[in-house]
Amino acid sequence: MQIDLSGRTALVTGSTQGIGLAIATGLARAGARVVVNGRGEERVADGVRTVRADSGSDDVTGAVGDLAAEQGSAAVLKAVPTVDILVNNLGIFGTAAALEIDDAEWRRYFEVNVLSAVRLIRAYLPGMKERGWGRILNLASDSAVVIPAEMIHYGMTKTSLLAVSRGFAKDAAGTGVTVNSVIAGPTHTGGVEEFVRELVGNKLPWDDAQHEFMVKYRPQSLLQRLIEPEEIAHMVVYLASPLASATTGGALRVDGGYVDSILP
């Protein structure tokens, strides 16, 4: 399978680390011109250098902006007025007792995880439709379907992204633009390592801590290990390609079999 994204511009939000960085690298390897996004100039510059080194591509730039705020979104849109591939990867997560999540925290999670994506879709989708080609991919989570008791505010935002993806796919019907969400399972990132430690403690070696986390908190996983970021990126790169032209309005799972369903 040959994936060639030469001539396409891709913006990956929240791509200075973790899954976003892996996606940016994968798209660059496939030939896309990639824009790395983050809130700080130094971290974005580091991300650009990493993607260039790991992909072998020099066609990688950065766009600094906090997409959870209108001002930050405006800065990114000014720096990158047109894209062919939009990957809404930006997201935050954390544990909280359900009855202790106040209104401000509910709003913060929605602003970062959902509204940041909606703003960019509103901005970029019209141009994609006019040009007759485009890919919009929203990074969801198994938590969209299997709401974790310890972070229902996070799960709510990822469920919302499934609805956002399906709705905008209908808006783009018949235009050559596809809109999909990717349901990522428990993935090995720096943030998840911290999350695992919050739940199982710091005494165990990492391999043992990871195993205990999967057995105790994610026993549904058929993979029985954390997913590597590159494994998520492989799905995103495929969906961003011309090869996925008949896939739209979908929620594609890269969850290690975590969601107990025979449907995608």
Is 71 or 192 the better-scoring residue by pLDDT? 71
Q: Read off the pLDDT band of 38 (50, 70, 90).
A: very high
State what percent of residues in the chain have pLDDT above 70.
100
Domains recognised in the chain with CATH numbers: 9-187+227-254 (3.40.50.720), 188-226 (no CATH)
Q: Which residue intervals of 92-221 are DSSP H helices?
A: 103-110, 116-131, 152-171, 190-200, 206-217
Count of C-beta atoms within a 10 Å radius of residue 17 = 17
* CA pair distance 168, 178, nearest whole angstrom: 9
pLDDT tens-digit profile of 146-202? 999 999 999 999 999 999 999 999 999 999 999 999 999 999 998 889 989 999 999
Confidence of residue 100 (pLDDT cuts 50, 70, 90): very high
pLDDT at 264 over 80: no
**pLDDT at residue 121 above 80?**
yes
Q: How many residues are present in the chain?
A: 264
Positions annotated as catalytic residues are: 154
Q: What is the pLDDT of residues 133-159, one digit of tens each?
A: 999 999 999 999 999 999 999 999 999
